[in-house]
Amino acid sequence: MSDTALVIPALDEETTLPALIATVARLDPAPAEVLLVDGGSTDRTAELARDAGWRVIISQRGRGVQINTGVAAATATRVCILHADTVPPVDMVAVIESVLDDPRTALASFTPLIKGEKTRWGTTAHNWAKTWYAPLFFRPRLFFRGARLLFGDHAMFFRKADFLSVGGCDPAAKVMEEADLCIRLTELGRVRLVPRIIETSDRRIAEWGSLKANWIYLKVGLLWAMGARQRLEKHYPDVR
């Protein structure tokens, strides 16, 4: 039996959840538990999750606090943060447990492929490169200790005990909470990008256009790296 929990922070994800529910049902092996942490949805998000047999936890809105709430509630020792618009591989749980069997790894993730009506190869490639160049430029000391910069659509995973020991995510964070977590967990071990594909929605690129989307990603990343972390979410509009 697996010892991995999937924690899904969500807000008004009624349109994306059916596909994720179907995918999670096919995972082999199955996760030990699936927790959807609802940040105050006004649609059928919580209802769909309950109907799927998932555990639903109502939380204050905000990705940082929702992730913290979900991890604290998980009973498994290993946790993966899965976004509602992401499609994991069928052996996701086995990959997570194999990677975390290495005590040198504190945090890891899958490699996202951005897809919708078409595959966004350019943004996918840039996101892959950013995993390395962002910490190299802005946190070089940590880079050479094994830091890599991962994001929510990577489906990050870690040991619950390690997450709690570093204080989890910044509860005030609504954007870039994953980057902060990467920095914190580098104190315990390396941060890895696993060469296994996970598909994630291109809905932001479809809404904004490729150039605008990449500009927004770059701007938010630079503001975070330079320490201007207050109200980053105002530069990262919601597309639901």
Please write the tens of the pLDDT for every residue from 110-167: 999 999 888 988 888 888 888 888 888 878 888 888 888 887 788 999 999 999 999 9
Instruction: For residue 208, give both structure tokens.
Output: 């904004």
CB crowding 20-55: b at 16 or more within 10 Å, else e: bbebbeebeeebbbbbbbbbebeeebbebbeebebb
78, pLDDT greater than 60? yes
pTM over 0.85: yes
First to last CA, the chain: 36
Residue with tokens 């605008």: 212
